[in-house]
Structure 1
Amino acid sequence: MIGQIIFLLVTIAAIGLFTYNARKIVRNIKLGKPLDRSDRRADRWATMARVALGQSKMVVRPVPGILHILVYAGFVIINIEVLEIAIDGLFGTHRIFSFLGGFYGFLIGAFEWLALAVWISCAVFLIRRNIVKVKRFWAREMTSWPRSDANYILFAEILLMSAFLLMNSADHKLQLEGATHYLKAGAFPVSSWLSPLLPSSESSLVLLERICWWFHIVGIFAFLNYLPYSKHFHIILAFPNTYFSKLNPKGEFDDMQSVTNEVKAMLDPSFTPVTSAEPVRFGAKDATDLTWKNLMDAYTCTECGRCTSVCPANITGKLLSPRKIMMDTRDRITEIGKNIDKHGKDHRDGKALLDDYILREEIWACTTCNACTDACPVNIDPLNIIVELRRYAVMEESQAAASLNSMFGNIENNGAPWKYSPADRLNWANQ
């Protein structure tokens, strides 16, 4: 009973702590401006199934894509066994689902092969990151914490899979020896290889099996509570984020309602726009000026760097990195959330996303080619954030590059980006 009580307390504490931290992230996302993404539900479900569940964009790069699918599928499917572990932990049983007979043996066997696949895939990922040193994992924004974060998760998954296989190996050996409480159940095609390496005494095997059992379940709880502090929260957010993807053509910019209202008021003096108590701001200066979907994008970012690796501005040596845009946005809205927790919702720290986190040189280096949004495995849209920051710089501060100011003047005076009179537009045809 002591073990069951300890297990119950650990379970309640783990779920409670995760819920507490997850609600903070949800709160932070809701600090963003409203945005309606409730249309075309069938298309949204299809997008989520294809991109998040089917991981269709991961396999554009086959080797890491296939390995990631193995890790994802293996880790999720293996943890179906957590249901059995939870029941065993609460009621003091052992392999409660063994009554399924042959099907149970098939499940355990499949879990073991998947565990081996996860173990190997994580080892390959560690080699790619730390020995091969793939370039996109060592960019300037990938400081010590982002690199360590990825390594912690990979090591944790290797340890969890190792504990799972060792637990099964000790269990298998105890079953063969007819130990009390270890009735014959399951098939162990991988862990049986480890049996000759284990101690022969029953007490040592029971101790090893119990240690691995507790390590596996407590490790999963620890992993769960690490997610809100890690880029790996995308394990959860990838599904809603892809569901709420932008379904319009990626190159189509959204109209600014504030500008639309101004135009309508000029064309129709009787037009009365719906006003809010908050002052109208064109574009975005801080993270709270962005939409909730922009902020969800930031928390969903996997920091894989696929966006930055295809960015023409970054490739040619400019300061822009779409991955950094997302990381900076996440860091800023997290900071705002912490300020709210500490000082209240009206606190202002004098900082802003633009200038304090993202430099002007970065946003003006963007060519708006959409390569980053196309490359993202979970349909994140860094371009939208860049455009909103640009809108603020231009429409609120009248700060833009000289070449752009010249173009704006030409459009205002000539109706075209060029300095020629509209009457001369067709002169080229006479050449």
Structure 2
Amino acid sequence: MSYLPNIIFLLALVLGVGYFSKNVRKLLRNIKLGRQDFPQDNPSERFKNMAMVALGQSKMVVRPIAGILHIVVYVGFIIINIEVLEIIIDGLIGTHRVFSFLGPVYNILIASFEVLALLVILAVLIFWIRRNIIKIRRFIKPEMKGWPKKDADYILYIEVVLMMLFLTMNAADYQLQLLEVPHYTRAGLFPVSQFLLPYIQGLSVDSLILLERTAWWFHILGILFFLNYLYFSKHLHILLAFPNTYYAKLTPKGEFDNLEAVTKEVKLMMDPSADPYAAVDENMPAPEKFGASDVMDLTKVQLLNAYSCTECGRCTSECPANITGKELSPRKIMMDTRDRLEEVSKNMDTNKGIFQDDGKQLLGDYISSEELWACTSCNACVEACPISIDPLSIIMSMRQYLVMEQSAAPTELNIMMGNIENNGAPWPFNQMDRLNWAEES
């Protein structure tokens, strides 16, 4: 019976990691539904971007208050969970604070973990106040109602609970060490949890052990729960920020991608030496569809962008169209893309991995043409994103579909394109009359 806790811990670990692995495989499958392989050029520059943006959070601190608080939570949560390695070893082989042999180094580690845990709790409290009491404008946009708001709050609650369990576990452990209870050898420094001792000093040894073990179990089970909750949460960016920044666009932000088939056709039209009656190059594959109307038409990078979205709203708060009351919200574009991709994923799960047409698509059922045409293509959303997400690329892909597949451009745009075709300029004047305005002045 002495091995029963170790067996239960092993089962919990296997189930938690196994379910997480299943979700990771599903995530990769969904992203691979997109077109085009991930870019492999300039790996050194890509690693530099990842180090600066994802690890160094260089774009996060553009807004100092939110940026610094986020760094505290991010660094604190990650570093504190280094202790998870010790918990796993202790849980598997029945030891207690197996790394205590590190002596002074271990003391410094535990002390720093506790200070960070306190800072995380304070930062999370400020985040909660900003969202629910101050109600900062970017957190109360229409797309943030319902589940997105609840999800953001759930994450804050989970983080506080995990940190409190960590400090409670240490406080009970420290009290047991002071009482020189066998198995609880002196190890670690407890600069924060020591202030909890007055609340537990009256407990018996058995009650202290029960408190320490309960906090220990709930802490590790809470971490396994949080790990598996990530797939269903906006906090999936904890894992995806690194590949997302690595595969971010390296070309100038104002440079748009062109369809290869169209580019070749235009070059042929502009080449005076080209034979207009030449046979079509049969080796040039024709695209199945110009632009994108559904998630399967987007690229793998765009789908990775959708899953990486933090829903922080910096893109929407910088969008001139949204500021002036238009329907467009770059954050909603990313959230809608992810929601549609999840709908496709569930369809495939139901149909043994094969997508069955459900009569829906991203364009129309999730994102309206009004939203797409409200975009000024200014790249403010791309510049504002703290992890290099590119909502504009999705907008432009769907615009491309509207123009080239459905001829559904706004009247003003159709007039402009007709003028360019007929007059070589966006204005409805003959080329010979183009400079008449100068003579009139």
Q: Do they superpose with TM above 0.5? A: yes
Out of 188, 193, 196, the residue aligned to residue 194 of structure 1 is: 196
Letter in 1 for 2:345: G
Out of 238, 245, 249, the residue aligned to residue 248 of structure 2 is: 245
Q: 5 Å matches for 1:374-413? A: 374-413=383-422
**Displacement of 1:258 after TM fit?**
2.6
- The reply to whether residue 224 of structure 1 matches residue 232 of structure 2 is no
Q: 5 Å matches for 1:280-299? A: 280-299=288-307
Say which SS state the counterpart of residue 144 (structure 2) adopts: coil
In structure 2, the residue matched to 1:89 is 91
C-alpha RMSD over aligned residues: 1.4
Distance of 1:141 and 1:373 partners within structure 2: 19
Out of 332, 350, 355, the residue aligned to residue 324 of structure 1 is: 332
Out of 254, 258, 263, the residue aligned to residue 260 of structure 1 is: 263
In structure 1, the residue matched to 2:140 is 138
**Displacement of 1:82 after TM fit?**
0.3
In structure 1, the residue matched to 2:178 is 176
Letter in 1 for 2:155: I
In structure 1, the residue matched to 2:345 is 337
**Displacement of 1:260 after TM fit?**
2.3
Whether the 8 Å CA contact 2:321–2:328 is kept in 1: the answer is yes
Out of 340, 364, 373, the residue aligned to residue 364 of structure 1 is: 373
Distance of 1:159 and 1:346 partners within structure 2: 40
Say which SS state the counterpart of residue 142 (structure 2) adopts: coil
CA shift digits 1:255-296 (9 cap, x unpaired): 1113124346664636635455x8521111111101000000
Whether the 8 Å CA contact 1:394–1:400 is kept in 2: the answer is yes
In structure 2, the residue matched to 1:127 is 129
Say which SS state the counterpart of residue 143 (structure 2) adopts: coil
In structure 2, the residue matched to 1:354 is 363
**Displacement of 1:143 after TM fit?**
1.7
CA shift digits 1:283-330 (9 cap, x unpaired): 111111010000000000000000000111100111000000000000
Deviates more, 1:256-265 or 1:173-182: 256-265
Whether the 8 Å CA contact 1:410–1:417 is kept in 2: the answer is yes
Shift in CA distance, 36/166, structure 1 to aligned 2, threshold 3 Å: closer
Distance of 1:381 and 1:12 partners within structure 2: 37
Segments of 5+ residues of structure 1 without an aligned counterpart are: none
Whether the 8 Å CA contact 1:264–1:271 is kept in 2: the answer is no
Whether the 8 Å CA contact 1:265–1:271 is kept in 2: the answer is no
CA shift digits 1:6-63 (9 cap, x unpaired): 0001000001000101111111110000145111111100100000001111111111
CA shift digits 1:374-425 (9 cap, x unpaired): 0000100000100111110011111111111100100110111111112233
Distance of 2:238 and 2:245 partners within structure 1: 12
- Identity across aligned pairs (percent)? 60
CA shift digits 1:106-160 (9 cap, x unpaired): 0000000000011111111111111111111110111210000011110000000
Whether the 8 Å CA contact 2:38–2:300 is kept in 1: the answer is no
Whether the 8 Å CA contact 1:52–1:378 is kept in 2: the answer is yes
Letter in 1 for 2:223: I
Distance of 1:56 and 1:262 partners within structure 2: 42
Distance of 1:259 and 1:29 partners within structure 2: 26
Whether the 8 Å CA contact 2:38–2:247 is kept in 1: the answer is no
Whether the 8 Å CA contact 2:60–2:67 is kept in 1: the answer is yes
Distance of 2:117 and 2:280 partners within structure 1: 64
- The reply to whether residue 7 of structure 1 matches residue 35 of structure 2 is no
In structure 1, the residue matched to 2:426 is 417
Shift in CA distance, 200/24, structure 1 to aligned 2, threshold 3 Å: same
In structure 2, the residue matched to 1:46 is 48
Distance of 2:391 and 2:140 partners within structure 1: 20
In structure 1, the residue matched to 2:213 is 210
Distance of 2:24 and 2:296 partners within structure 1: 19
**Displacement of 1:340 after TM fit?**
1.2
Distance of 1:263 and 1:408 partners within structure 2: 15
Out of 157, 160, 163, the residue aligned to residue 161 of structure 1 is: 163
Out of 3, 16, 19, the residue aligned to residue 17 of structure 1 is: 19
Distance of 1:281 and 1:246 partners within structure 2: 23
Q: 5 Å matches for 1:77-116? A: 77-116=79-118
**Displacement of 1:426 after TM fit?**
3.4
Whether the 8 Å CA contact 1:112–1:165 is kept in 2: the answer is yes
Distance of 2:355 and 2:49 partners within structure 1: 38
Deviates more, 1:405-414 or 1:193-202: 193-202
Out of 296, 318, 322, the residue aligned to residue 314 of structure 1 is: 322
Say which SS state the counterpart of residue 141 (structure 1) adopts: helix
TM-score (norm 2): 0.95
In structure 1, the residue matched to 2:308 is 300
Say which SS state the counterpart of residue 302 (structure 1) adopts: coil
Shift in CA distance, 419/265, structure 1 to aligned 2, threshold 3 Å: closer
Letter in 2 for 1:307: C
Say which SS state the counterpart of residue 249 (structure 2) adopts: coil
